[in-house]
Amino acid sequence: MIRGSTVGTVALQAVLAEYELGTIYSVTGAGGTAGRTWKVRTSTGDYFLRLRGVRTSSEARLLYDHGLREHLIARRVPTVSAVHTRTGERWVRTKGRVYELYPFVVGRQFRPESEGEIAEAARTLAKFHRAAADYRPQVKEPVAQYTTLGFSDEVSDRLDDPRLQLANMLKVREMASSEQERELVDRCIARVRALMRSYAGTKYDRLAGWVVHGDYTPANLLFSEEGKVVGIFDLDWAMPGARCRDVADGLYFFASVPRRMDPSDIWSLTEAAELDLDRCTIFLEAYHEVAPLLRHEVDAIPCAFAGRWFSVRLEGMAKVDAGERFRFFSRDIERPLLWFDRNWPLR
């Protein structure tokens, strides 16, 4: 039964009706960029409802995600599995979109000023990699990472494929309106061509073989008041890959100089951050305590970061107005890349 006037739209009511939730008291928006999320208060408890992004809503992607959650829970990684519908499904598909309902986990956001929480985030990532390493479902799927841009329909079997990045970046170059802007994109293209030599083919295969989270940012962790991770979420982009890609993510999003971010604003989430040597060292050393990286994995972190950073900007372009896309892509794009040029390997 649904009671009250704060239960959201008719569409949300129809989705929630697929579950045994008792009386629904309220549905409150909780943000999101690729999809949307809501907190649902009911007589049977509190829940977290999420609308998945279109690119991660295929049957294969859903099966991989939900299977991985069960695998992680069995290995005591702090995450949750989806609530079953009345018919035993883990999700609701309606009008081409997918909704999932999870038990609501009580926690707070990452405190960027806390060195202890930087280390805790790193150790949690290492535990995730160790626990997920033997997850080997039979599901195979192409990765449609950049298709929402409308530049190309090409897909890949991996994240941050330099071949696809090059095809999309050549289209970005056509959007440049000055020689200075074209030169900036050309420098980015040169980096992508370098990735095709150093972060693809057999060199990438040597790094791969892990299961990666794919979006290891503060928005996808919850901490206790004591500074321990109580939840790792949003496995939409989890898949086989190179763990140094997740480590690069962690360095950038957890070990950069603290700054204010609006989790519902794609411009804020993708601003160029200033990395910090001391904080990066804390993150890397804490990760090594649990799951030491091999030398070639450490050496590949700048390449992994470059691939991830270009993806952040290319994918994010699809979420802003067409007239703002080039500015979104280009703003300060070289700053973190140049930081790795100057500072890697860490001294």
Give per-residue pLDDT as tens, 227-248: 999 999 999 999 999 999 999 9
d(CA 124, CA 119): 9
Hey, CA dihedral for 174, 175, 177, 179, is it positive or negative?
negative
**Global pTM?**
0.94
Cβ 326 vs Cβ 40: under 8 Å: no
Confidence at residue 116, expressed as pLDDT on a 0 to 100 scale: 99
Q: Are 333 and 339 in contact (CB under 8 A)?
A: no
Looking at the DSSP assignment, which residues form a beta bridge with residue 122?
none
Q: Is the model more confident about 6 or about 328?
A: 328
- H or E element in which residue 30 lies: strand 24-31
Tokens of 101: 């309902």
Count how many Cα atoms sit within 13 Å of the Cα of residue 5 in the half-sphere of its side chain.
0
List all residues 6 or more positions away from 137 whose beta carbon is below 8 Å from its beta carbon: 63, 64, 67
Give the whole-angstrom CA distance, residue 306 versus residue 298.
14
Fold classification of 115-343 (topology level):
Aminoglycoside 3'-phosphotransferase; Chain: A, domain 2 (3.90.1200)
**Once rounded to an integer, what is the mean pLDDT over residues 268-291?**
97
pLDDT of 210 higher than 50:
yes
**Cβ count near 216 (within 10 Å):** 29
Query: Chain-wide mean pLDDT for the chain?
Result: 94
Q: CA angle, 315 as apex, 187 and 332 as ends, to 5°?
A: 40
Task: Give the rounded percent of residues in the chain with a pLDDT score beyond 90.
Answer: 90
- CATH fold for domain 10-103: Phosphorylase Kinase; domain 1 (3.30.200)
The DSSP call for residue 4 is: S
Predicted local distance difference test score (pLDDT) of residue 1: 47
- Taking residues 149-163, what's their average pLDDT? 95
Per-residue pLDDT tens over the stretch 196-208: 999 999 999 999 9
What share of the chain in percent tops pLDDT 70? 96
pLDDT at residue 35 in the model: 60
How far apart, in whole angstroms, are the C-alpha atoms of residue 285 and residue 277? 12
Scanning the chain, the segments in alpha helix (DSSP H) are 10-16, 59-74, 115-132, 162-175, 179-198, 201-207, 243-254, 266-269, 277-290, 295-299, 301-317, 325-330, 335-343
Checking if the pLDDT of 4 tops 70, the result is: no
Query: Rounded to whole angstroms, how far apart are CA atoms 291 and 42?
Result: 41
Residue pair 24/40 in contact (Cβ under 8 Å)? The answer is yes
Domain ranges of the chain: 10-103, 115-343
pLDDT given for residue 9 in this prediction: 81
pLDDT confidence bin for 5, thresholds 50/70/90: very low
Looking at residue 141, its pLDDT comes to 84
> Does the structure show a pLDDT above 90 at 347?
no
Q: What secondary structure, in 3-state letters, does 221-242 show?
A: EEECCCCCEEEECCCCCCEEEC
Q: Dump pLDDT digits (tens) for 55-95.
A: 999 999 999 999 999 999 999 999 999 999 999 999 999 99
